[in-house]
Amino acid sequence: MITVSRLVLDHFRSWTHCMFDFTPGVNILQGANGLGKTNIVEALEVLSTGSSHRASSSLPLVQRGFQTATIRANIEEQKSNNEDSTTTFELTIRARGANRARINGGASIYMRDIIGKIPFIAFTPDDQRLVWGDPAVRRHFIDQTAAVLVRGYAQRLQQFTHIAKQRAALLKQLGSQDGDVQRDAALSGLEIWTGQFIDIGSQITRDRNHMIELLNTFSVRSSVN
């Protein structure tokens, strides 16, 4: 069993600084509207999946007037020999630039290296958009879920996004090239990017199919039970 025993936020959303100690079992967050209860749940979501259902970039996650926000969580895991171990995950979110992470205060690593290590499921009113919203909402749900369930998916998706941007930029340049030499060089580069685009895109498709098969397995079990 994996549980969160402590959560610390610095300059995350509305919280300048806060620390929460959780007990095993059900924990209820109670407070006035606008206090920031949802922000606490969102912080765990970002730490687990690398993204938020409420924001498409890191900028809204950082408190106004600051350049970075920090999420730290102590994760307790009970192993098969009934011994407990504690791991501290820390994520530094930048208003602009790459987000970085640490495990147990170690060396700085990419955010994608901790994605999926903390199992997390969030049910929010926005989940209704999975039914009536546009396809981008469902794609985001698939990507966020696969980042937790499929090893290496987050890294492959990041690579795919980078390749897609480079390929699109090259296609744009190709339309403005006049000389044959420049055009041939652009076509050669396009061939390389397209090959990578197809390879990683195919793997992502297989990852998504695998993730959907996992979800279907749980759905079938639930309907039978």
Domain segments of the chain: what residues?
2-124, 150-224
Considering just the CA atoms, what is the radius of gyration of the chain in Å?
A: 21
| 122 annotated as ligand-binding | no
| 195 annotated as ligand-binding | no
Place of tokens 């610390």: 8
Nearest-angstrom CA–CA distance, 106 and 125 = 37
| 34 annotated as ligand-binding | yes
CA torsion sign for 164, 144, 141, 216 is: positive
| pLDDT tens for each residue of 189-222 | 888 899 999 999 999 999 999 988 888 887 655 4
Q: Are 149 and 214 in contact (CB under 8 A)?
A: yes
pTM of the model: 0.70
| 98 annotated as ligand-binding | no
| pLDDT tens for each residue of 127-143 | 888 888 888 888 888 88
Number of H helices, E strands in the chain: 5, 6
| 172 annotated as ligand-binding | no
| 33 annotated as ligand-binding | yes
| 117 annotated as ligand-binding | no
Considering the domain delimited by 2-124, tell me its CATH architecture: 3-Layer(aba) Sandwich (3.40)
Domain 150-224, what fold? Methane Monooxygenase Hydroxylase; Chain G, domain 1 (1.20.58)
Whether residue 186 has pLDDT greater than 60: yes
| 35 annotated as ligand-binding | yes
b/e map 162-196, b = 16+ CB within 10 Å: ebeebbeebeeeeeeeeeeeeeeebeeebeebeeb
Window from 67-71, 88-92, 142-146 with minimum mean pLDDT:
142-146
Mean pLDDT over each residue of the chain, to the nearest integer: 88
What pLDDT score was predicted for residue 122? 80
Contacts of 58 (CB under 8 A, 6+ apart): 93, 94, 95, 96, 99
Place of tokens 């990852």: 207
Among 159, 69, 155, smallest CA distance to 112 is for 155
